[in-house]
Structure 1
């Protein structure tokens, strides 16, 4: 499985809808966690994804009803999987395979935003745009039953397995999950490249063929230093958990810069090896 992301910030008409459904996903996730925790406390039994979905659906949970049914099911599947992971860790702890006892999945931050996932069955390709359903209640509130995303040029619609709406630092991203064939690399095991990580000299590389090169890390270091100083300035005199739109904006910018530098560096190394 692989994923590629597309920024949705360029469509301001859709942003209030995205914020709403991500907020409902966060609330539904907390409802699912609450029900699963209470069941464990009372019966020492863990709920599965089918039971959890049935419980939220039959009790007419308002957050479940405000989401598209398949997106709501995906949110609850994630909750059930987190409890299944807890069971596995608990078993490993009892068998002395890990040192610290695991903790039950915790609630998400109140008022926060959570990922909204759509399986392939919920999506439809129309005129080279992907139609994403929102549900009847969202249509009643916002006058929109669907929103559309342009089809990524490097993907085929039939390859897509899942679409995720990711809220992050005031931005929303569409992440396409798809299958890809495993690439068999043709490596010459007689050649090797030694890499020493540093700060100013981010990567110092020497091969057994006598080649050497250095990837400069000063620009990356400068960007990170500016970010840390700006965060310290904005948080001066504020509570420890203070957050603001300005902090979100510079954090997202800094994360993009770091990710871009990592990707370009990885490409440079791959081109050299290739």
Structure 2
């Protein structure tokens, strides 16, 4: 079974190439705005939405359509049709109760640039360069019929499906979408499970029932966001609303690249841990709309909301599908309060019984004390309780989750090649080192599973 991967490459464009890319993405946006106007008016007057073939037929003589290669223009119109279909789908979801937030009709984008998609059938490879065709009108107006980009050396041209030109923060990226085969996972231990608890300083804490535990440190990522917020505040001080500049675009794009890199590295650490230890199932603790309903004070809320845990969850899910690892999401009510070592009951959110009380207590931000005085890592306690949330349903054996693994999980820092060893629990056996696989700039974000390219 084939999935699809996606690789983003920053385009180092000279003046002429940048002008061409701006023109192409600008024409794509203008064509999309024309289609949006037609679709919105049709919906207001008849309650119906047009399909992609209706758009193709309606706008094939449009000048913005002719400024693009025909298949490229059709891809732009198809994306508009899909946005209207998504709007109707969400309306139906509200009626059925599966969607809570009311959707909005697709809106126009003024003076903007839009993503452009080239099917691989229209892109030719010659002498290591990819040739991208332009519309017939462009050749007539400017005498330019194509532009060229280098073919990445780490990709196979025969596996490419499409190439997208993505404008973002005054930069341009080439997104290469390619076919991938499902990876054959290593031998798994039946009934093995890894519980994941998310936070801020400890971005992700993992505890398994095969005697392993780890923490992915989130302080560096939090620091990056704090620096970014300060710089944005300084640069926008005494400026009109909506002010934007080259410097703002540059630091925003740098921060976004670092965040994407962190998401990919953290997800890869989780998957490598599962493959190395033969873990069959990943259980991710997640409360829906937890960021929207966060009430931890203004400063803490800002730190929490800007940490891309939702994107990390989706990335782990993608890799689990690729490596045939089971993925389960569960609500995490009372997992931080209840004591795992004392086997406290874990009611679901809003179902706490009268008189319920935890046996232990969280004495500091990172330390939890059980009823007999044993002190363990607070986030490790939460991750172990997340497994308990689904233990009966999955028939899991939790006897191998010991206080030793909960006392001192292995700390892993992102953007560090090697982590210092630490003593395993209270004994003298050292944990093996985890190596964070470095991701080069031209492979950040690859591979992703089908239809998810960020």
Alpha-carbon distance in 1 for matches of 2:257, 2:269: 18
Quote the offset at 1:141 in angstroms: 4.8
After TM superposition, the structure 1 = structure 2 runs for residues 110-189 of structure 1, keeping only pairs within 5 Å, are 110-186=110-186, 187-189=188-190
Change in Cα spacing, 1:248 to 1:40, as seen in structure 2 (3 Å) is same
Return the TM-score normalized by structure 2: 0.55
3-state DSSP of counterpart to 2:164: strand
User: More displaced, 114-123 or 88-97?
Assistant: 88-97
User: More displaced, 161-170 or 139-148?
Assistant: 139-148
Residue-by-residue CA offset, 1:73-116 (whole Å, 9 max, x unaligned): 110011111112223233333445444554322222x0011001
Alpha-carbon distance in 2 for matches of 1:263, 1:97: 30
Alpha-carbon distance in 1 for matches of 2:43, 2:192: 55
Contact 1:159 1:179 in 2 (8 A): yes
Partner of 1:40: 43
Residue-by-residue CA offset, 1:165-216 (whole Å, 9 max, x unaligned): 1000111111112222222423324444343333333333444444444333
The answer to whether the aligner puts 1:55 opposite 2:65 as a matched pair is no
RMSD after superposition: 2.2
Larger Rg: 2
Alpha-carbon distance in 1 for matches of 2:96, 2:209: 45
Alpha-carbon distance in 2 for matches of 1:214, 1:236: 38
The structure with the greater share of residues assigned to helix is 1
User: More displaced, 238-247 or 167-176?
Assistant: 238-247
Partner of 2:83: 82
3-state DSSP of counterpart to 1:13: helix
After TM superposition, the structure 1 = structure 2 runs for residues 1-274 of structure 1, keeping only pairs within 5 Å, are 1-57=4-60, 60-99=61-100, 101-108=102-109, 110-186=110-186, 187-274=188-275
Quote the offset at 1:160 in angstroms: 1.5
Alpha-carbon distance in 2 for matches of 1:99, 1:253: 34
3-state DSSP of counterpart to 1:240: coil
Change in Cα spacing, 1:75 to 1:235, as seen in structure 2 (3 Å) is same
Alpha-carbon distance in 2 for matches of 1:140, 1:270: 52
Quote the offset at 1:69 in angstroms: 1.4
Alpha-carbon distance in 1 for matches of 2:148, 2:190: 48
Change in Cα spacing, 1:193 to 1:99, as seen in structure 2 (3 Å) is closer
Unaligned regions of 5+ residues in structure 1, if any?
none
Change in Cα spacing, 1:100 to 1:193, as seen in structure 2 (3 Å) is closer
Quote the offset at 1:237 in angstroms: 1.4
Contact 1:199 1:218 in 2 (8 A): yes
3-state DSSP of counterpart to 1:239: coil
Quote the offset at 1:157 in angstroms: 1.9
Change in Cα spacing, 1:11 to 1:268, as seen in structure 2 (3 Å) is farther
Alpha-carbon distance in 1 for matches of 2:34, 2:112: 14
Contact 1:17 1:142 in 2 (8 A): no
Partner of 2:426: none
Contact 1:52 1:80 in 2 (8 A): yes
Unaligned regions of 5+ residues in structure 2, if any?
276-454
Alpha-carbon distance in 2 for matches of 1:220, 1:96: 36
Quote the offset at 1:161 in angstroms: 1.5
User: More displaced, 42-51 or 86-95?
Assistant: 86-95
Quote the offset at 1:129 in angstroms: 2.0
Alpha-carbon distance in 1 for matches of 2:193, 2:95: 43
Quote the offset at 1:254 in angstroms: 0.4
Alpha-carbon distance in 1 for matches of 2:162, 2:101: 34
Quote the offset at 1:32 in angstroms: 0.3
3-state DSSP of counterpart to 2:180: coil
Change in Cα spacing, 1:234 to 1:145, as seen in structure 2 (3 Å) is same
Quote the offset at 1:260 in angstroms: 1.5
Residue-by-residue CA offset, 1:43-96 (whole Å, 9 max, x unaligned): 333212112111112xx3221121111111110011111112223233333445
Alpha-carbon distance in 2 for matches of 1:96, 1:270: 34
